[in-house]
Amino acid sequence: MTDVAILHDRFPGIGGGEEFAIEAARVLDAPIYTTYVAEGTTLPDDVVVIPFRQAKYTSLPWRPFLEWKNEGMNPLETLNVALDLTDAHPDLAGYDVVLESAPLSKNYVPTTGQRIVHYPHSPPRWLYDLYRDRLSSFRKPFVEAGVKAYAKGWRALDKEANDYVDRFVANSDLVRDRIRRFYDRDADVVYPPVTGDWRNEGDDGYFVTWSRLAPEKRIDLIAKAFAGLDERLVIAGDGQQREYLEQFAATYDNIELRGYVDDIESLVARATAVVYAPKQEDFGLVGAETMMAGKPLLGVDEGFTRYQVQSGRTGLLFDPTVTSIRDAVRRFDPDDFDPVVIREEARKYEYDRFAEDLRSVVAKTASVEPRSRPGEDRDRSRRVDAEGRRTDETGPTSIEGVTDE
């Protein structure tokens, strides 16, 4: 029997990466090791999560410097997480396969006999395909030079860590192409699972868009497009652009901002269609959830969204401009789309398919010799039970679920 552990970089909240780690732990019946769990983050009771540097990131005096994340762009926090992941928790050495979730987890240095499956969600985009976009924000001479040097150093470290990986797994065909381009390695594709009660209950005559209200999601672009239309738009979500969008929506009778909606499935179930325009989305859970509900997707012709939209079958594509979005909405006729056909196209996102594919990847990786790398033989006898206790052939030995070594 193969012993598997999940290694996720950190839990700053529950986003798509954290949801993947949780579902992978359920499918593989594996514990999750992570550097820390941010205060206020609620974890499910049926999954074992072991934060091994909790006090470092949540206690004084370092907490104010490390917990400022700026949506993952805190260099000090990122560097500390990467360094802490190199040796991670000592009990990780007792597992046959480590499934690494998120890019920084690749910095874990395995033992000679371990197999490593790496599910990065994407190579770090600020180092590669979004590098020039991010650099454009730092055009002062000395600042720009410093950012270039910082990125160059990180790029070298990122590629060096590829030597530890036995098998890459991508969350979409788009990310597989990025892995091939930037790492010169192939990857299996395992789509993240779509969970929730997604359904189609008719059409109440409104379009809906939802996501984190951040610039890269382009919710403001969609709102501006609907400002020139007679169609209703309902926006759901929260984030840094909420105040701006509230002020904008207040001036138009056909645009409504509801903020965070707990039962988003019910809102989508009565919608005419979903409009989605993120910038170069890696996977696009919103698009997958839309299709699972059997609703047409009006999506931007970028990133993985363009893979999800089959024009005239699952939705319509548009360019990321106000004019193009308006044109797509005006051309859209709900009678042209069959919910049954859309739902059939979404079967690849079903939970059972995800579980089958993930188990298959782990089994294939466990059955081959690991890549050659330095290290010591692992102690196969070490395990961690549901209470976070180390066990071996002589019986359990109590350890702390949270350590600061």
Tens of pLDDT, residues 333-388: 999 999 999 999 999 999 999 999 999 999 999 988 766 654 444 443 344 444 44
The first and second tokens of residue 345, run together, are: 């196209």
Q: How far apart (Å, rounded) are the C-alpha atoms in residues 312 and 315?
A: 6
In angstroms, the first-to-last Cα distance of the chain is 30
Check residue 73 and give its pLDDT.
61
Sheet containing 255-259: give its strands across.
255-259, 232-236, 206-210, 273-276, 297-300, 315-318
Check residue 396 and give its pLDDT.
38
Strand partners, 111: none
248-251: Cβ within 8 A, 24+ apart: 248/220, 248/223, 248/224, 249/223
Q: Mark whether 225 and 138 lie in a shared domain.
A: no
Q: Mark whether 331 and 343 lie in a shared domain.
A: yes
Check residue 148 and give its pLDDT.
87
State pLDDT tens for residues 139-193.
Answer: 787 888 888 888 899 999 999 999 999 999 999 888 999 999 999 999 999 998 8
- Does residue 298 have a pLDDT over 90? yes
Reduced to 3 states, what is the DSSP secondary structure of residue 319? Answer: coil
Q: How far apart (Å, rounded) are the C-alpha atoms in residues 267 and 237?
A: 12
State pLDDT tens for residues 232-250.
Answer: 999 999 988 999 999 999 9
Q: State which of 332, 349, 366 marks the end of a domain.
A: 349
- Does residue 285 have a pLDDT over 70? yes
Q: Mark whether 228 and 339 lie in a shared domain.
A: yes
- Does residue 390 have a pLDDT over 60? no
> Can you give the CATH number for the domain in which 326 is found?
3.40.50.2000
Q: How far apart (Å, rounded) are the C-alpha atoms in residues 399 and 394?
A: 15
- Does residue 37 have a pLDDT over 70? yes
Task: Domain count for the chain, please give it.
Answer: 2
Q: Mark whether 129 and 223 lie in a shared domain.
A: no
The least confident of 42-51, 79-88, 217-226, 364-373 is 364-373
Mean pLDDT across 196-211: 95
Residue 224 belongs to a domain: yes
- Domain containing 287: what range? 206-349
Residue 107 belongs to a domain: yes
Q: Mark whether 175 and 212 lie in a shared domain.
A: no
Q: Mark whether 218 and 308 lie in a shared domain.
A: yes
Residue 402 belongs to a domain: no
Mean pLDDT across 325-333: 97
Q: Where are the beta strands (DSSP E) in 57-146?
A: 97-101, 115-119
Q: Mark whether 340 and 358 lie in a shared domain.
A: no
Check residue 372 and give its pLDDT.
60
- Does residue 108 have a pLDDT over 90? yes
The least confident of 93-107, 276-290, 332-346 is 276-290
Residue 199 belongs to a domain: no
Q: Mark whether 261 and 361 lie in a shared domain.
A: no
Q: Mark whether 244 and 310 lie in a shared domain.
A: yes
pLDDT greater at residue 398 or residue 266: 266
